Amino acid sequence: MTEIQTESKRDGATAPVGPTAGADALPHERLHERHGLGLTLFGGGARAAYQVGVLKGLANSHPDLDVPFITGISAGAINAAHLSSQKGTFAERTASLAELWNAIDVDRVFETQGLPLLYRTLCIGMRLAIGWAPTLDPMLGMVDSSPLSRFLEQALGGRELDGIEANLASGSLKAVALVALKYSTSQTISFCMGQEIIDWERPLRRSQRERLTVDHILASAALPLFFPPVQIDGEWYGDGGIRLTAPLAPVIHLGADRLLAISTRYRPTGREADQRRFDGPPRAAQIFGSLMGATFLDVLDQDAYQLDRINSLLEKLPPEKRGALRPLRSLLIRPSADIARLANDFEPRLPGTFRFLTRRWGTRKSRSQELLSTILFQEDYVKLLMEIGERDGVAHADALSALLDETPVTR
């Protein structure tokens, strides 16, 4: 796939064209200063384990792959932060990331004890239904995510991600960004270390130079209502994918001229897409699953599709008429299996109270589990996703080689 980053001129200033990452070009004078492969890891909750498998599969044939620009959005922030903070070759860093996910389980992501889990869920439900007593502190999430905070601190060697600074100093990493939503202003914030984001500022999106910590990972991955928002410097932040319609944009603005993106959305055939996923009226699991799919899974494919269309239009123009346009080449890897349908096989193994609650939402009525696959941090399900991802990564090794061998397009 070939994708393009574009811009238009309006009143002597640059202005975006359309809603895609390709609509935001860097200033002409900065184009040749910034280059390298950019990796975008988007969301999907537990489905982010698939990304780990893909990276491990790619590392089999590209053990010394140079990835100087990395962005993490939603659950992809966990993978992005780990890759950015570890030492060694690409193969060594991906192997270390796989070890992290091999050790993960539901109990290490959120509190699963019966009474506390029931209490928090009921409080959220009552708050949504009838409000909340003004004298009581609000309940911020259905689950307590402090186990994930402790797990990440242990896996990453502390709350401060010192390894990122070391990799920036050595030159093996040029820039990393973790994306979160600032609830008080509804702005998408890219927390950056290293090379600054160029021409990224818009009314509803901002970049912020910050020393990244585990809190920034938790903020980016805080699924709305399910995980509690995270407070950073007095402001509350949530999942970075909530309103980010162009997930490829951050890594482009960090300076990448080639893109590698890993989607966690299976691309069905026409016949598969026409199959009913449940019978009868939709329940909460189906409705919320559709909302989460549209928010966290669909947008990456849509962004890549729009960029591809822009590229097709640009090919019809001679170079001298393209203005300040920036061609980009990319590779988008998707799951070869419907990982939402596979989640059904693992639902019975969930902790008892959590399984009881998800079934009340209607998960047992679904044949494709968009919601459950997002929160199913079950050890055996995670390992299956990594196995599928590794096979897909191996299958795309030649495509990655072709992407890396291409000569960047310049004006």
Catalytic residues: 74, 239
Rounded Cα distance, 364 and 367, in Å: 8
Rounded Cα distance, 207 and 250, in Å: 9
Rounded Cα distance, 293 and 21, in Å: 19
Coil vs helix vs strand at 211: coil
Contact in structure between 8 and 294 (CB atoms under 8 Å): no
At residue 4, what is the residue type?
I
Rounded Cα distance, 104 and 228, in Å: 19
DSSP letter assigned to residue 274: T
Residue identified by tokens 């044949």 is 367
Gyration radius of the chain over CA positions: 21
Give the pair of three-digit tokens for residue 208: 């912020």
Contacts of 78 (CB under 8 A, 6+ apart): 48, 72, 152, 217, 221
Coil vs helix vs strand at 259: strand
Longest dimension (CA), the chain: 67
Decide the pairing of beta strands 326-333 and 2-5: antiparallel
Residue identified by tokens 């796939």 is 1
Decide the pairing of beta strands 37-41 and 8-10: unpaired
Q: How big is the CA angle at 280 (ends 277 and 282), to the nearest 5 degrees?
A: 70
Give the pair of three-digit tokens for residue 191: 């927390």
Coil vs helix vs strand at 37: strand
Contact in structure between 177 and 192 (CB atoms under 8 Å): yes
Q: How far is CA 168 from CA 154, 241, 322, in A?
A: 22, 26, 34
Contact in structure between 392 and 55 (CB atoms under 8 Å): no
Distance from the first to the final alpha carbon of the chain: 20
Give the pair of three-digit tokens for residue 390: 């590794």
Rounded Cα distance, 108 and 76, in Å: 17
